[in-house]
């Protein structure tokens, strides 16, 4: 939803159908999962608890929800069917927040929570609970469930509004939900660190005790933990990974960039490696095996197997839609790779690259096959790290294709992958600061 998206009361989401992009129903919403934050900041809506036709309840992240409208939820179609397990930092809206007694900030009066409203933030995919519908007076009977398990609020269907005045206030207008400012649990740590970039949160985790590090890692959702693991030193990665349940470890591997996941897998004992690969989706496991076949400090070992690939008859509009994906890093979104089918790596014949600056200059209907940059020779998978670094420096590249002898695109390397392997192993231990006088970045103490 875009800016100005309508506010949705959670009672209207209970029991509604969840559909995939093809229009097939996959289940029904049974609860909402939120993470409370320090102070009076509105909590983040992490996802939905969806009950499948088999009665299994799974977690659907909001990042995989493309629309909530007309009494239905539309998903990307990518579902993890592992059984939902609530984590220490998570709260269930229907199970824990509704019917709760809280205090109005303005009057100090005790009220009962009848409903909560969620809204998507402008220009972002994050959702927040920003309004609270409450009733003054005695506690009790705030909501019930009908015969289908849906939430039925007392003012719907004959309950009236007996028992006290009702009103809607902002989240900051009540107290009794949010975390204590100075709490020390993993929940408080996550609430404090949630605005940090993955690299900064990784630095924080690195300096925590092993026990605390494991607690915070266990409480992070899979996508966030995957982002943080990619930024941690190898020893920390292995330590954290070794404390995850195998099914969750496989899910986190799938959420990581393929090259980073392959590097982590390569450090594990063979038995553990094979067991995790067997738990992953076949396509993801195949990517891992292919990447681990290359030496670490070669183009093949550095590349990701998931660049943006389009056929030559795709349009500039198609390409721009792909690079707008907020999950892509700036380097991955810097260019697209044009290939003959199939579009999954290894692709058909690699034809060339189109840089995003060129996409911005041409009309939306232009075919990408007509604006190719095919003058630059791609990298070979066995090219050594110094050769790769020289290529990037010579041609001022932020990303580059890796192509095999048959002309198929195998993947792409980004400049951050090159830097990660060229910097000293302990570079994460160095704190950097910006010298505002001359705009230079230097290590502390230099």
Q: How confident is the model at residue 70 (pLDDT cuts 50, 70, 90)?
A: confident
Please give the residue range of the domain that contains residue 376.
309-422
**By C-alpha distance, which of 150, 5, 25 is closest to 68?**
5
Kind of pairing between the strands at 174-175 and 101-104: antiparallel
The answer to whether residues 114 and 232 belong to one domain is no
Across-strand partners of 68? 73
pLDDT digits (tens, 9 = 90+) for 93-107: 988 888 888 899 989
Q: Does residue 341 have a pLDDT over 60?
A: yes
The answer to whether residues 327 and 353 belong to one domain is yes
The answer to whether residues 26 and 154 belong to one domain is yes
pLDDT at 213 (0 to 100): 85
Q: Report which DSSP code applies to 96.
A: I
Confirm whether 81 is domain-assigned. yes
Among the candidates 175, 210, 226, a domain finishes at 175
Q: How confident is the model at residue 151 (pLDDT cuts 50, 70, 90)?
A: low
The answer to whether residues 171 and 260 belong to one domain is no
- Report phi then psi at 275, rounded to 5: -65, -40
pLDDT digits (tens, 9 = 90+) for 168-213: 999 989 988 865 444 445 655 666 666 678 888 888 888 788 888 8
The answer to whether residues 77 and 224 belong to one domain is no
How many CB atoms are located within 10 Å of the residue 157 CB?
A: 10
Q: Does residue 114 have a pLDDT over 50?
A: yes
Q: What is the mean pLDDT of the chain?
A: 83
Confirm whether 351 is domain-assigned. yes
Among the candidates 293, 319, 354, a domain finishes at 293
pLDDT at 161 (0 to 100): 45
Find where tokens 């989401």 sit: 13
The answer to whether residues 170 and 214 belong to one domain is no
pLDDT at 443 (0 to 100): 57
For the residues 422-445, what does the mean pLDDT come to?
A: 57
Q: How confident is the model at residue 79 (pLDDT cuts 50, 70, 90)?
A: confident
Q: How many percent of the chain have pLDDT more than 90?
A: 42
Q: Does residue 138 have a pLDDT over 70?
A: no
The answer to whether residues 19 and 93 belong to one domain is yes
Q: Does residue 78 have a pLDDT over 80?
A: no
- Report phi then psi at 99, rounded to 5: 70, 15
Please give the Cα distance from 356 to 359 (Å, whole number).
5
Give every CB contact of residue 304 below 8 A, 6+ residues apart in sequence: 257, 258, 259, 332, 411, 412, 413, 414, 417
Confirm whether 228 is domain-assigned. yes
pTM over 0.85: no
Q: Report which DSSP code applies to 408.
A: B
User: Domain containing 333 — which CATH number?
Assistant: 3.10.580.10
Query: Peptide bond preceding 342: is omega within 30 degrees of 0, i.e. cis?
Result: yes
Give every CB contact of residue 65 below 8 A, 6+ residues apart in sequence: 47, 48, 73, 74, 75, 76
**By C-alpha distance, which of 300, 328, 339, 332 is closest to 397?**
332
Q: Does residue 247 have a pLDDT over 90?
A: no
Q: Does residue 277 have a pLDDT over 90?
A: yes
pLDDT digits (tens, 9 = 90+) for 304-334: 999 999 999 999 999 999 998 877 888 999 9
User: Domain containing 251 — which CATH number?
Assistant: 1.25.60.10
pLDDT at 210 (0 to 100): 85
Across-strand partners of 45? 34
Q: Does residue 137 have a pLDDT over 90?
A: no
Confirm whether 181 is domain-assigned. no
Which three-class secondary structure state does DSSP give residue 351?
strand
User: What are the start-end ranges of the E strands in 121-156?
Assistant: 127-136, 144-145, 151-152
The answer to whether residues 118 and 153 belong to one domain is yes
For the residues 329-358, what does the mean pLDDT come to?
A: 94
The answer to whether residues 59 and 161 belong to one domain is yes
- Cα–Cα distance list, 255 to 13, 155, 416 (Å): 27, 43, 18
Torsion angle, CA of 376/377/381/385, rounded to 10 degrees? -70
For the residues 402-414, what does the mean pLDDT come to?
A: 95
pLDDT digits (tens, 9 = 90+) for 116-135: 999 988 756 688 999 999 99
Q: Does residue 301 have a pLDDT over 80?
A: yes
Confirm whether 298 is domain-assigned. no
Kind of pairing between the strands at 335-339 and 309-310: parallel
The answer to whether residues 266 and 370 belong to one domain is no
The answer to whether residues 25 and 108 belong to one domain is yes
Confirm whether 303 is domain-assigned. no
User: What are the start-end ranges of the E strands in 314-416?
Assistant: 335-339, 350-355, 399-403, 409-414
Please give the Cα distance from 62 to 339 (Å, whole number).
32
For the residues 424-431, what does the mean pLDDT come to?
A: 61
The answer to whether residues 244 and 378 belong to one domain is no
Alpha helices in 207-355 (DSSP H): 210-219, 222-229, 234-241, 246-255, 258-266, 270-279, 282-292, 299-302, 316-323
Domains of the chain: total? 3
Please give the Cα distance from 65 to 126 (Å, whole number).
11
Among the candidates 293, 327, 350, a domain finishes at 293
Q: How confident is the model at residue 158 (pLDDT cuts 50, 70, 90)?
A: very low
Confirm whether 270 is domain-assigned. yes
Query: What counts of helices (H) and strands (E) characterise the chain?
Result: 14, 22
pLDDT at 348 (0 to 100): 95
Confirm whether 257 is domain-assigned. yes
pLDDT at 53 (0 to 100): 87
Higher pLDDT, 126 or 394: 394
Higher pLDDT, 352 or 329: 352
Give every CB contact of residue 238 below 8 A, 6+ residues apart in sequence: 264, 267, 268
Q: 92, 86 in Cβ contact below 8 A? A: yes
Which three-class secondary structure state does DSSP give residue 287?
helix
């Amino acid at each position: 939803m875009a800016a100005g998206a309508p506010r949705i009361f959670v009672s209207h989401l209970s029991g509604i159908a969840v559909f995939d992009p093809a229009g097939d129903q996959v289940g029904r919403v049974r609860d909402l999962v939120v993470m409370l934050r320090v102070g009076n900041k509105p909590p983040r809506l992490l996802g939905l608890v969806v009950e499948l036709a088999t009665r299994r309840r799974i977690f659907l992240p909001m990042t995989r929800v493309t629309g909530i409208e007309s009494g239905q939820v539309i998903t990307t179609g990518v579902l993890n069917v592992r059984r939902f397990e609530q984590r220490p930092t998570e709260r269930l809206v229907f199970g824990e927040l509704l019917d709760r007694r809280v205090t109005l900030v303005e009057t100090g009066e005790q009220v009962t929570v009848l409903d909560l409203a969620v809204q998507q933030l402008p220009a972002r995919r994050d959702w927040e609970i920003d309004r609270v519908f409450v009733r003054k007076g005695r506690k009790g009977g705030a909501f019930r469930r009908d015969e289908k398990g849906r939430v039925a609020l007392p003012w719907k269907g004959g309950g009236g509004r007996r028992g006290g005045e009702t009103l809607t206030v902002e989240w900051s207008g009540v107290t009794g939900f949010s975390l204590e400012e100075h709490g020390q649990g993993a929940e408080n740590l996550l609430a404090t660190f949630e605005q940090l970039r993955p690299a900064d949160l990784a630095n924080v985790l690195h300096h925590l005790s092993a026990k605390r590090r494991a607690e915070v890692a266990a409480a992070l959702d899979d996508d966030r933990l995957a982002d943080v693991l990619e930024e941690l030193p190898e020893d920390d990665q292995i330590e954290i990974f070794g404390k995850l349940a195998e099914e969750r470890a496989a899910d986190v591997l799938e959420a990581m960039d393929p090259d980073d996941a392959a590097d982590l897998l390569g450090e594990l004992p063979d038995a553990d490696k094979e067991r995790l690969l067997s738990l992953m989706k076949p396509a993801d496991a195949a990517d891992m095996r292919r990447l681990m076949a290359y030496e670490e400090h070669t183009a093949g070992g550095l590349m990701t197997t998931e660049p943006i690939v389009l056929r030559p008859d795709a349009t500039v509009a198609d390409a721009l839609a792909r690079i707008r994906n907020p999950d892509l890093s700036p380097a991955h979104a810097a260019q697209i790779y044009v290939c003959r089918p199939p579009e999954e790596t290894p692709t058909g014949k690699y034809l060339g690259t189109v840089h995003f600056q060129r996409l911005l200059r041409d009309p939306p209907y232009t075919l990408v096959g007509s604006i190719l940059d095919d003058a630059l020779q791609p990298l070979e998978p066995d090219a050594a790290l110094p050769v790769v670094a020289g290529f990037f420096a010579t041609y001022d590249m932020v990303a580059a294709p890796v192509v095999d002898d048959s002309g198929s695109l195998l993947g792409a390397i980004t400049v951050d992958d090159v830097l990660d392997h060229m910097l000293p192993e302990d570079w994460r231990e160095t704190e950097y600061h910006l010298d505002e006088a001359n705009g230079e970045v230097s290590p502390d103490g230099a």
